[in-house]
Amino acid sequence: MDKRKWTEGRVVELYRWTDRLYSIRVDAPVEDFEAGQFGRLGLGMDDEFIARPYSFVNAPEERPLDFYFITVPGGPLTTRMATLHSDDLIWVARKPAGFFTLSEVPNGEALWMLSTGTAVGPFLSILKTEEPWRRFERVVLVHAVRTAQELSYQDILRSFENGHPEQFTMIRLVSREVHPESLRGRITDAILDGRLEEQAGLTLKGKGTQVMLCGNPDMLRDATILLVEQRGLTENRRGRPGQITMERYW
């Protein structure tokens, strides 16, 4: 480990959402970051230093730092992180990274944010800033999970709904059970049959549409195919602006 690139952080809180989902809040002096970027967390174990990237859930000016993670069976880092307590030490990369930010997204009329699982994290960070509300007439956040218990950060989401009632739409999807406040199924199902657009009262077509995708590889692949082939959108690339911007979460 190059200690010039890392700083010692102190755990403020470890919050357990489910048997596998956690938020870890850390006090650490990192460099300024842009909402949507990620940091890195690391621990030394058995003479080995193990680190992984995790998106910031907090807005750039908020402290402590907030990271949302799921424990991986047999995963040495997440298994250990899930046992940490307040005042325990954890290494945090000094310099944030990543390009999943609104500065990389062209202007438009509507911003769709499609996420699965813990990938809702960077969207929460972005929505805590003024930029999405200033740049887009409508903002739609879609969060897809397996069970209703995994619908985390509901207090923050309700604050967006209450603060921007005419501008913001929250759509929850649960795939493995019926939940009264959620659509049933996966994001790709709801794109294919039109339920996302019906729920939002907004089309996924048109030049004014911008879509940010963050989540598991299958969702990214399949949703991109549907958005390109059925909704006529194009991928956003540097030097060739488009309408689909994505973050490959693993």
For the chain, 250 residues long, give each residue's pLDDT as a single digit of tens. 787 899 999 999 999 999 999 999 999 999 999 999 999 999 998 789 999 999 999 999 999 999 999 999 989 999 999 999 999 999 999 999 999 999 999 999 999 999 999 999 999 999 999 999 999 999 999 999 999 999 999 999 999 999 999 999 999 999 999 999 899 999 999 999 999 999 999 999 998 999 999 999 999 999 999 999 999 999 999 889 999 999 876 5
Same domain, 46 and 143: no
Q: Are residues 70 and 162 in the same domain?
A: no
Note whether 127 and 86 are same-domain residues.
no
Q: How far apart are CA 128 and CA 113, in angstroms?
A: 14
Ramachandran category for residue 57: left, alpha or beta (phi over 0 → left; psi -120 to 50 → alpha): alpha
Residues 194 and 164 in one domain: yes
* Burial group, residue 163, by CB count within 10 angstroms (0-12, 13-18, 19+): exposed
**pLDDT digit string (tens) for 2-52?**
878 999 999 999 999 999 999 999 999 999 999 999 999 999 987 899 999
Locate 31 and state its tokens.
């460099």
- Identify the CATH number of the domain in which residue 14 sits: 2.40.30.10
One domain, residues 230 and 184: yes
Burial group, residue 20, by CB count within 10 angstroms (0-12, 13-18, 19+): middle
Task: Indicate if 67 and 34 belong to the same structural domain.
Answer: yes
- pTM exceeding the 0.75 threshold for the entire prediction: yes
Cα angle value 54/217/170 (rounded, 5°): 70
Residues of the domain holding 171: 102-248
d(CA 101, CA 123): 9
pLDDT at residue 250, rounded to an integer: 59
* Co-location of 38 and 130 in the same domain: no
Cα–Cα distance, 91 to 95 (Å, whole number): 12
- Per cent of the chain over pLDDT 70 is 99
Residue 206 sits in a domain whose CATH number is: 3.40.50.80
Q: Which residue has the tokens 């995790």?
A: 54
- Looking at the structure, tell me whether residues 182 and 223 fall in a common domain: yes
Domain count within the chain: 2
Last residue of a domain, one of 52, 67, 93: 93
Q: Are 102 and 131 in contact (CB under 8 A)?
A: yes
Q: Which of 93, 125, 153 is the last residue of a domain?
A: 93
Same-domain check for residues 44 and 121: no
What local confidence, expressed as pLDDT, does residue 133 receive?
A: 98
Same domain, 70 and 168: no
Give the chain's end-to-end CA distance (angstroms, integer): 22
Q: End of a domain among 66, 93, 120?
A: 93
Q: Verify that 109 and 175 share a domain, yes or no.
A: yes
Q: What pLDDT score does 65 carry?
A: 98
